[in-house]
Every structure is written in structure tokens, then in C-alpha cells.
């Protein structure tokens, strides 16, 4: 999906990322990266990947089918992807981290620092 992407083509490390349910229950993503690329029409797109404890994502989804993704790329680059496209692994053991892939389902929203900080303090990380 084409979105408003404020970055040039390349890969960017994610400093912090969380999948967040409506009740602020959250699961941390680790070793996250986003990739910005152009299609043959010159439109920029973004996709990302990280590691996650898949059994915790299942726990988030028990109460709600919709989860959002919060990304901190450093500095003022803090975003919310509402109900992103997610593809995850099928390893559900508590001690196993699986790859998860994500991408925006709609335009992603940049969060002001104060909003991001408030959100971070309200998360209940599983």
C-alpha cells in the first residue's frame, strides 16, 4: 500500500516497537527494521520485520482482533500504524521468538513526543 513515507529508500533500525491492544496491553518487538523501497512507478512503500514472542501476540488477540503498532525510530520519528498488516511465525512456545512482518494498512500517523511519552507510560507490557 502506498503511504506518506518521510524517509528515503533504505533500511532503518527501530529503537522501540510494541504491538498494542485497545486496553493498552502490549507486546514488545525486538531487533526491528523497516525497509523503505520504491516500486517501478516511483511510489515509496514500507515494510518491516522484528522478533516477537508469538504466544504473547495470541494473548493480545484473545480480547480484540485489532492491534496497533507503535514505532520509535529515534528522535522525533515516532509513529502509530493503525491495524497494520501482520504476518507471523507459528512457534508458540514461551521461550521462542519468531519473526513477524508488518506493513501499514493505511497512512501511518506521526506522534508528537508528548503523546508518545504518555502512551509509553500507559502501556501494560505482557
3-state secondary structure 30-78: EEEEEEEEECCCCCEEEEEEEEECHHHHHHHHHHCCCCEEEEECCCCCE
Residue scoring higher pLDDT (64 or 104): 104
Q: Residue 100 pairs with which residues in a beta bridge?
A: 50, 88
Residue scoring higher pLDDT (5 or 56): 56
Phi-psi bin for 55: left (phi > 0), alpha (psi -120 to 50), beta? alpha
Distances in Å between the Cα of 73 and the Cα atoms of 13, 56, 63, 90, 93 are: 7, 23, 28, 27, 29
Q: Confirm if 88 and 67 have CB atoms less than 8 A apart.
A: no
Q: What is the pLDDT of residue 105?
A: 87
Mean pLDDT of 4-31: 91
Is CATH 2.40.440 the classification given to domain 10-125? no
Domain spans, the chain: 10-125
Q: What is the pLDDT of residue 42?
A: 84
% of the chain with per-residue pLDDT over 90: 56
Mean pLDDT of 88-101: 78
- Give me the numbers of helices (H) and strands (E) for the chain, helices first please: 2, 10
Answer yes or no: is pLDDT of 122 > 50: yes
% of the chain with per-residue pLDDT over 70: 94
Amino acid at each position: 500500500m502506498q503511504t506518506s513515507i518521510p524517509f528515503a529508500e533504505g533500511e532503518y533500525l527501530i529503537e522501540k516497537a510494541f504491538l498494542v491492544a485497545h486496553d493498552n496491553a502490549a507486546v514488545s518487538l525486538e531487533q526491528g527494521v523497516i525497509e523503505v523501497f520504491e516500486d517501478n512507478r516511483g511510489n515509496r512503500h514500507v515494510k518491516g520485520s522484528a522478533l516477537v514472542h508469538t504466544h504473547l501476540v495470541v494473548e493480545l488477540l484473545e480480547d480484540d482482533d485489532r492491534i496497533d503498532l507503535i514505532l520509535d525510530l529515534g528522535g522525533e520519528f515516532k509513529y502509530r500504524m493503525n491495524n497494520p498488516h501482520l504476518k507471523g511465525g507459528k512457534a508458540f512456545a514461551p521461550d521462542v521468538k519468531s519473526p513477524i512482518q508488518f506493513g501499514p494498512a493505511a497512512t501511518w500517523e506521526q506522534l508528537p513526543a508528548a503523546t508518545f511519552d504518555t502512551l509509553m507510560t500507559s502501556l501494560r507490557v505482557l
